[in-house]
Amino acid sequence: MHSTKGNGLKPHIGIFGRRNYGKSSLVNYLTGQQIAIVSDLAGTTTDPVKKTMEIGGVGPVVWIDTAGIDDEGTVGRLRIQKSLEMLSQADLALLLFTDNRFEAEEVMLVETCRKRGIPYILIFSQADRFQPDARLIEQLEADYQTQVFVLSVKDPSLRDPLTSRIRQALPETAYVHKTLLGDVIGEGDTVVMVTPIDSSAPEGRMILPQVQVLRDILDQHAKAVVCRETELEQTLRQLRQPPQLVVTDSQVYGIVSKIVPEQVYLTSFSVVLARAKGLFDDYVKGTPTIDSLVDGDRVLMLESCTHNVTCEDIGRVKLPKLLAKYTGKALQCEAVAGLSSLPRPIQQYALVIQCGGCVLTAKQLAARLAPAIEAGIPVSNYGLAIAYMNGIFARSMKIFTSKQ
């Protein structure tokens, strides 16, 4: 996994609506910067534009300016599709309408948000040009049980009230990050972190999941001991007492599980992150599907970030090899990085295996896997899948299930 945090862990706020409805103007209005091109020409914004800014009480957020949902032609339909993909990534959606038009496009946006559980704010934009129809506003507020925000970006006095409304609508889960291990370790505990160094490891630094777990250990006032798998046996001997927990990189699960005594809890960075992102039960249920795979089945590897592929890449090389060896089947494994589109319909896959998702918010990860879950396609996680094939599936979860 890539070690760059980027925009992934920041809350994403998307701005959606028809062409020329003031979406780009709203981005500039909220950020106080001319970061989006504004023009009277419909369709000026062709690709999503992202900008990070601070919101008091929340911290940094990413604003997403999108193309109009009424774009036309072959390319226009592709832009609409891209805008809807951005909607699935949003922790909060600002849905613009104006000129008292609330038709099929607007209804589609609202219904998509409601179906996917995405909070939204209805904004009547360009109020300096169009007088809002009080009856329409009243009807929308009754139908959707929400207050319509009437906005003119030429009125600076509305910026703070709108920002406050956004802060209230943005779910805390998007910016208040839950502890990774705080409910299973405590002050004074020792946690051993096993971090292999191979050609897929970034030069001169640790990968992001390792950094996140290390920080969480320190936040609990516990002690972290870091070593490679080749030094693990010696490290355990030198400790005065057995550690509370050993957290390992999934790719050396087989080696580490033979070294760590059975009475010591053992899990992986990927499993820790999977549990924190909120889809753990789906992974636990879907992982045993590995035993049901047959020749020709397609398995999709979803990686949350992009990175250079090496001969030791876990998602593209090591995990497919382990699957082939464990199942004895001729499987077709395909990998997709970041939030790129899938190469084929999700229904054509027998199993989806997601990485830990270290650079994604829980909302983004849930949206990424929603099509598979809705289609009844089993989903698993790198760490749980590897633990399963190494015969330590239950052991990898024991520290979490025993503490419940």
160/20 same-domain check: yes
**pLDDT category of residue 19 using cuts at 50, 70 and 90:** confident
28/68 same-domain check: yes
With respect to residue 305, please indicate whether it lies within any of the assigned structural domains.
Answer: no
Q: Which of 273, 306, 332 is the last residue of a domain?
A: 273
Give the C-alpha distances (Å, rounded to integers) separating 171 from 91, 92, 109, 118, 277.
7, 8, 19, 9, 15
**pLDDT, average across residues 341-370:** 87
Query: Residues 135-190: pLDDT tens digits?
Result: 999 999 999 999 999 999 999 999 999 999 999 998 876 666 678 999 999 999 99
Q: What is the mean pLDDT of the chain?
A: 87
Domain of 98 in residue numbering reads as 12-174
With respect to residue 387, please indicate whether it lies within any of the assigned structural domains.
Answer: no
Residue 218 has pLDDT above 90, yes or no: yes
With respect to residue 163, please indicate whether it lies within any of the assigned structural domains.
Answer: yes
CATH number at residue 150: 3.40.50.300
The token duo for 280 is 């753990």
Q: Look at residue 9 in the predicted model and tell me its pLDDT.
A: 65
Q: Locate all alpha helices (DSSP H) within 154-297, ordered by sequence.
A: 159-169, 208-219, 232-238, 253-259, 269-276, 280-286
Residue 4 has pLDDT above 50, yes or no: no
164/206 same-domain check: no
**pLDDT category of residue 297 using cuts at 50, 70 and 90:** very high
Residue 351 has pLDDT above 90, yes or no: yes
In 3D, which of 108, 133, 132, 131 has the Cα closest to residue 120? 108
60/145 same-domain check: yes
Which of these ranges, 58-62, 264-268, 337-341, 374-378, has the smallest mean pLDDT? Answer: 337-341
Q: Look at residue 322 in the predicted model and tell me its pLDDT.
A: 94
Q: Look at residue 283 in the predicted model and tell me its pLDDT.
A: 96
Distance of CA 403 to the CA centre of its chain: 26
Q: Which of 241, 273, 305 is the last residue of a domain?
A: 273
109/254 same-domain check: no
What separation, in Å, do the N-terminal and C-terminal C-alpha atoms of the chain show?
A: 30
User: Reduced to 3 states, what is the DSSP secondary structure of residue 50?
Assistant: strand
**pLDDT, average across residues 120-138:** 96
150/195 same-domain check: no
142/60 same-domain check: yes
With respect to residue 331, please indicate whether it lies within any of the assigned structural domains.
Answer: no
**pLDDT category of residue 126 using cuts at 50, 70 and 90:** very high
Q: Which of 273, 292, 313 is the last residue of a domain?
A: 273
- CA triplet 110, 368, 122: central angle to 5 degrees? 20
Residue 328 has pLDDT above 70, yes or no: yes
Q: Look at residue 35 in the predicted model and tell me its pLDDT.
A: 54
Q: Look at residue 39 in the predicted model and tell me its pLDDT.
A: 44
194/151 same-domain check: no
Distance of CA 283 to the CA centre of its chain: 15
Residue 399 has pLDDT above 90, yes or no: yes
Quickly tell me which residue has 């989806």 as its tokens: 352
The structural domain count of the chain equals 2
Q: Look at residue 33 in the predicted model and tell me its pLDDT.
A: 62
Q: How far apart are CA 71 and CA 75, in angstroms?
A: 8
Q: Look at residue 47 in the predicted model and tell me its pLDDT.
A: 55
Which of these ranges, 324-333, 355-364, 381-390, has the smallest mean pLDDT? Answer: 355-364
**pLDDT, average across residues 39-49:** 50
Query: Residues 191-207: pLDDT tens digits?
Result: 999 999 876 666 777 88
224/156 same-domain check: no
Query: Residues 53-79: pLDDT tens digits?
Result: 888 777 888 888 888 887 777 777 787
CATH number at residue 266: 3.40.50.11420
168/197 same-domain check: no
**pLDDT, average across residues 263-278:** 92
57/94 same-domain check: yes
244/202 same-domain check: yes
Residue 306 has pLDDT above 80, yes or no: no
Q: Look at residue 308 in the predicted model and tell me its pLDDT.
A: 46
